[in-house]
Amino acid sequence: MGIDDQVVHSEQSVADSFYELNVLDQKVDVSSFYEKSFYEKYKKALADLK
């Protein structure tokens, strides 16, 4: 499993819920936490091992 748009969307939903519950003081853009290009390199490295 890798980091894709579905994962980022799910994490954004969690962050939005925390904001709505006043756990977070401001909205957070969780997409800035992820670098999806690393996953492609990871997949290639795994494939090369097989």
| pLDDT per position as a tens digit, 28-40 | 999 999 887 887 8
State the pLDDT at residue 35. Answer: 82
Q: Across 1-50, where does the E strand assignment appear?
A: none
Secondary structure of the chain in HEC code, one letter for each residue:
CCCCHHHHHHHHHHHHHHHHCCCCCCCCCHHHHCCCHHHHHHHHHHHHHC
Average pLDDT of the segment spanning 1-5? 77
CA distance 2 to 16: 22
pLDDT at residue 4, as a whole number: 84
Q: Residue 15: is it exposed, middle or buried by C-beta count within 10 angstroms (0-12/13-18/19+)? A: middle
